[in-house]
Amino acid sequence: MNAATSPAVTNPSAAHLRVVSDRAAGDGKSGITLSGVSKTYRSRDGEVVSLKPLDFHINAGEFFVVVGPSGCGKSTLLKMISGLLAPSTGEVFVEGEAVTKPHGNVGIVFQNSLLLPWRNILANVMLPIDMKGLPRDKYLPRAKGLLKLVGLEGFEKKLPWQLSGGMQQRASICRALVHDPKIMLMDEPFGALDAMTRERMNVELMRIQRETGKTVLLITHSIPEAVFLADRVLVMTERPGSIAAIYDVPLPRPRSLDAMADPVFTELVQRIRKHFFTQSTLD
């Protein structure tokens, strides 16, 4: 119990534990910066605090993963970064610009692929282009290239229901990338997939991120998945959400599934897991 509450002290190799706030890390020009961002919802029973003030910075090209229990305001965080939701206090900066409305510099992947059933795969991938009113003919080769990148070549004319869950999610990743945003926001993107497909998708996602150089903010419930994917892992507390800790993941890249057997990996997973055991009422 005592060891769980203060892992940094008890664990000898605590070099990759970061302090809660790291606002100073960014140069203010690139990546994502949150400064004092909080969210309070007004409901019938009064005010509900969803997120306590958050301060952190995500570097450009970084793979940043947020883990936390359900209802810790992770999805709220994602909506505020994409500009769909205004924070109650504080400011969000994307690429140095303050976010006040949808800015289109993000691609979003949800747990459900959310492909439109009446559009074929290619038309689904082109949705952001239609929404932003960009020239179709200019982006069509890009859309096809992305589908090729994720191994969906030849499925352009298929309707979503004709594809498996993993393939649908790949298509939705293409849709998130087609307008070439700087940032990819992923809300439990592989949560609905079976365990084997999920592992394969994780490896593939890392490859896509490496090849495109996007800044990725991924939200997940799975601690091993978080550690496997991330450059840094942000651990959130239960509602109201706040930052419990931010960890560096010192595993070398490119990573294969073998990385999960690495002692550094298992130790970090164990450490992060302790955050939730101290918080929950189970113990």
Partner 1 sequence: MAEPKGPGAVSRALNAAWVRPVLFLLFIVVAWDLTIRLFRIPPYQIPAPGDVLAVLWSDWPELLRQAWPTTYATICGFLLSALFGIPVAMLIAGSKTVESYIYPLLVFSQSVPKIAIAPLFVVWFGFGIIPKVISAFLLGFFPVVVSAVQGFKSVDPDMVDLARAMQGSRFKVFCAVNLPHAMPAIFSGLKVSVTLAVVGAVVGEFVGSNSGIGYVLQRSIGTFDLPTMFAALVILALLGVVLFWIVDRIERFVIPWHVSQRDEFLFAA
Rounded least distance, CB 15 to partner 1, Å: 38
Beta bridge partners of 233: 65, 247
Which of 126/245 has CB closer to partner 1?
A: 126
- 27 burial (CB, 10 Å; 0-12 / 13-18 / 19+) is exposed
Which of 183/227 has CB closer to partner 1?
A: 183
Locate 44 and state its tokens. Answer: 């019938």
Rounded least distance, CB 76 to partner 1, Å: 12
Helix, coil or strand: residue 24: helix
Which of 82/168 has CB closer to partner 1?
A: 82
CA distance 81 to 105: 10
Residues forming the site for partner 1 (CB under 8 A): 79, 82-84, 102-104, 106, 108, 110, 112, 114, 116-118, 127-128, 130-133, 159, 161, 179
What are the C-alpha distances in Å from 24 to residues 27, 58, 236? 8, 11, 20
CA distance 127 to 166: 20
Rounded least distance, CB 223 to partner 1, Å: 24
Closest C-alpha to 170, from 223, 127, 212, 115: 115
Which of 106/230 has CB closer to partner 1?
A: 106
Rounded least distance, CB 3 to partner 1, Å: 40
Which of 112/278 has CB closer to partner 1?
A: 112
Rounded least distance, CB 135 to partner 1, Å: 15
CA distance 32 to 93: 6
